[in-house]
Structures are given as structure tokens and as C-alpha cells.
Amino acid sequence: MTRYAYLGPSGTFTEAALRQITTAADELVPYANVTAALEAVRTGKADKALVPIENSVEGVVARTLDELASGEPLIISAETTLPVSFSLMVLPANKDKAINKIATHPHAEAQCRTFVAKNWPAAEILETASTAAAAAGLSAGNYDAAIAAEYAAEKYGLTILANNIGDNEGAVTRFVVVEKPGVASKPTGNDRTSLVAFIDIDHAGALLEILTEFAKQNVNLTFIQSRPTGRELGHYHFIIDAEGHIDDLPVHQAIEGLRGICEDIRFLGSYPRASRTN
């Protein structure tokens, strides 16, 4: 049995993604936010954690990136993707009542703005830690409606007023399995390598220098995002995803090249790439 921490409460898209890769024997433990889920792994309360890292519409999940770049090192060992579809839900007794307050996660709100603006332009949007938390709060009568997954409506006994309300029907979220460093994975021929590159100080051409090391080895980058280190203005690091495995010579040489131009490198793991949608 493996104990998994995940972004809760029960009914989140993260839980749905986690159920794609776990068995009935595994234990799934919800946590209030990404930080708490990853801290559960660091402290040994969970063997692994599943957290969102990127959405095809809204972009990166900043908290996940920042948590992986700092603190006790963690390794990404796998990834999975999930098509994301949103529903507007209310309490069964309130399906014909006015909607003045709608709760949801900021990423969900960003993906449903057209629908909300068209149908409830005067409604106040309330931010919650997850879409499932919005559904749970709605079940407690804290607001008039929630935007969440259809599964959350079933979980909390809510009535769906509208399905598939997202502005982009093809939205997909990528999730990563995170654990403590251990035995390295073996190349599969379809891998992704993640790392954090810390530059010494912001300067002209810093990003170009990093990109050049991968270009020299003909390694394709699938993701790159800059984030402040938090130390002071001008200090940044780059979270990078590259095609290939650390044991592949081109990837290995590119990373070795980075060591000569970066203040530090944090290896986040080499792992099999998920299909576009599982």
C-alpha cells in the first residue's frame, strides 16, 4: 500500500487524476493546499503526493513550482494529465433562486469568465483553495453557487445548473507525482527531465545562456518558467522541462554545461511522459 497526499478536499480534479494512477489498496489523503501535501511527503506522513503543475489554459501553478524549487529536495517520479470540465452547481433547494455569490478556485474562475460574465455579470466571485472546497462550502450554505467538477456535485449532493461551462473545451491539467529522492528511474525512450536553474544575478543574456546549453546538445525544452527566489530583487531561477532522461547523453551534457554558468542546479527528476490525455 502506498499513501498519497493530494490537493483536497475530496472531489478535486487532483483526486480524479490520482485515481487514474492508483489502486484500491492505496490510501489517498486530502490536504488543504499544495504546500501541505508536499510537506506531508517531506515529514514522512505520506509516501508520495500528487499536485497540479500546469494547465493548458491558465498556465503554471506557481505554488507547486515554488515549493519544488525550495525546501528539502523532492523528486518528480511520474506525471499524469486530466481533461478539465467545469460545472455550475447550487443547493437542490436553491435551483430557482438568484445567484449573487459564486465560489471557486482562481484557475477555474479564469477558465469560466465568459460564461459567468454572460449569465451572472453582477455576481461576486469568491476565491477558494480548490474547486472541491467551493463545493463543500456551498453544501454548508456559505454562498449561492460554486464552480467545480461534476464529480464534486455528486460528492456533496449538489444540483448542476450547467455543465461544460469552460471557455476552452479542450482544457487539460498536468499533475506530477512527487516523493523523496531515492532510486533513479530507468530511461523509457519517452521521458521528461525537470530541473531548477539558479542564476547568480540577473543580467543581459542570462536566459539565452541557459537555452544555448540545451540547443548545443539538440535537446528540446517543453517548459520554462522564471520565478523570483525571494531573496532580493534581481535574483531569479528558471524551472525547466526538457525532453529526454538524465541518463541520455545529450541531456546529461546540457545539464553539466549549466553548472558552469549557474549559481546552482536542483535536479527535479527524470520520469516517463504522460500522454496528452490519459
- How sure is the predictor about 276, in pLDDT bands with cuts at 50, 70 and 90? low
Whether 230 shows a pLDDT value over 80: the answer reads no
Q: Which has more pLDDT, 275 or 9?
A: 9
Percent of the chain with pLDDT over 90: 77
- Would you state the cell numbers that stand for residue 115, as one nine-digit string? 460564461
Question: Alpha-carbon distance 25 to 63, whole Å?
Answer: 30
Per-residue pLDDT averaged across 248-276, rounded? 92
**CA proximity to 68, closest of 187, 202, 198, 173:** 198
Burial class, 72, CB count within 10 angstroms (exposed 0-12 / middle 13-18 / buried 19+) = exposed
Q: Which domains does the chain have, with CATH numbers?
A: 3-83+171-179 (3.40.190.10), 87-162 (3.40.190.10), 191-272 (3.30.70.260)
Give the pLDDT of residue 203: 66
- How sure is the predictor about 123, in pLDDT bands with cuts at 50, 70 and 90? very high
Per-residue pLDDT averaged across 149-168, rounded? 93
Q: What is the pLDDT of residues 27-50, one digit of tens each?
A: 999 999 999 999 999 999 999 999
CB-CB contact of 51 with 37 (8 Å): yes
Buried b vs exposed e over 210-233: b needs ≥16 C-beta within 10 Å?
beebbeebebeeeeeeebebeeee
Rg of the chain (C-alpha set): 20
Is residue 267 flagged as an active site residue?
A: no
Amino acid at 87: S
DSSP 3-state of 186: coil
Q: How large is the greatest C-alpha to C-alpha distance in the chain, in angstroms?
A: 64
Which secondary structure element, helix H or strand E, spans residue 207, and what is its range? helix 206-216
Out of 44-48, 53-57, 155-159, least confident range: 53-57
Catalytic residue among 80, 128, 173, 193: 173
Catalytic residue among 13, 22, 64, 175: 175
- How sure is the predictor about 151, in pLDDT bands with cuts at 50, 70 and 90? confident
- How sure is the predictor about 144, in pLDDT bands with cuts at 50, 70 and 90? very high
Looking at residue 273, the DSSP 8-state letter turns out to be: P
- Would you state the cell numbers that stand for residue 209, as one nine-digit string? 545562456
Mean pLDDT of the chain: 92
Is residue 173 flagged as an active site residue?
A: yes
Q: What is the pLDDT of residues 191-216, one digit of tens each?
A: 999 999 988 766 667 789 999 999 99
Whether 9 shows a pLDDT value over 70: the answer reads yes
Per-residue pLDDT averaged across 154-160, rounded? 95
pTM more than 0.75: yes
Looking at residue 220, the DSSP 8-state letter turns out to be: P
